[in-house]
Amino acid sequence: MDQMMALPGTPTVIQTPDIAVRPGDRVEKMNPMRASIAEHMARSKQLSAHVQTCWEVDMSAVMNLRKSHKGALAAEGVKLSVTACILRAATVALRQHPIVNASVSGDQIIYRGEVNLGCAVAVDGGLMVPVIKNADRLTVRGIASELEDLATRARSKRLTMDDLTGGTFAVTNPGVFGSLWGTPVINQPNVAILGCGRTEERVCVVDGMIAIKPKAYYVLSFDHRLVNGSDADMFMKTFKEVLESMDASSL
């Protein structure tokens, strides 16, 4: 499902203690997907020094862009989602801050030449992370088309191995389920993952006046073995600026 590296000394199976089963309990064996997720997530927490930074973003520009162009793009068969705009902003930030688009192999730093975005998709029985290849070469429209295709094929179990490998950075959007924010686990061998919260109207102060703006929290989980806090925050600063200034030229 993801691209965990087989590192020397890294256990291939996460051992867990036997748990007592009490009367009335129901015991169910994990399906292969859930077992794989369990292993990979536990191994990621063992391997990477997870740290988080949380930023609030004004989503007014994105919401206005959707309102103005959603209908026209829908007529062309393109679903203009907030997620597509988020992914586009992430690609710009990744190109400007390559340390976040990297991997660690022993004492070697691998700066990835491609920007391949893994996009978490909830499916029956677990989670899949299909990858949009060379996402930095795509407009919002192109990303939206790729995202819709991958998500549809993920839910119908028609993804290929190529669809699931090669990611250099991952994005998960629990905001679609109502979550305000979270602390996602890094998808190995990446060094960061972006978690997206729900966009909601919030009271804020603009030029000394009370205003209501659509805002959302974004959390970057990053591997402190490689990415410093300043690196993570500079990445998020760029990401925020791109989202807050997004217009029709991004389409």
pLDDT value of position 28: 93
pLDDT in tens, 118-154: 999 988 888 899 999 999 999 999 999 999 999 999 9
pLDDT value of position 216: 98
Residue 152 lies in a domain: yes
Q: CA 5 to CA 138: how far, in whole Å? A: 28
pLDDT value of position 179: 96
Range of the domain at 169: 54-250
pLDDT value of position 16: 63
Name the active-site residue from 83, 91, 168, 172: 172
Q: What is the 3-state secondary structure (H, E, C) of 100-158?
A: HCEEEECCEEEECCCCCEEECEEECCEEECCEECCHHHCCHHHHHHHHHHHHHHHHCCC
Q: CA 233 to CA 155: how far, in whole Å? A: 34
- What's the structural domain count of the chain? 1
- Catalytic: 172? yes
**Alpha-carbon Rg of the chain, whole angstroms?**
19
pLDDT value of position 13: 55
Residue 11 lies in a domain: no
Residue 29 lies in a domain: no
SS3 179: coil
What is the pTM assigned to this prediction?
0.90
DSSP structure class, residue 180 = S
Residue 132 lies in a domain: yes
SS3 80: coil
Residue 88 lies in a domain: yes
Query: What distances in angstroms separate CA 222 from CA 161, 169, 215, 230, 251, one per listed residue?
Result: 26, 10, 23, 11, 29
Residue 30 lies in a domain: no
Structure tokens of 177?
């389920």
Residue ranges in the chain modelled with pLDDT below 50:
1-12
SS3 52: strand
pLDDT value of position 124: 87
Name the active-site residue from 50, 53, 69, 224: 224
Residue 223 lies in a domain: yes
The CATH number covering residue 226 comes to 3.30.559.10
Residue 73 lies in a domain: yes
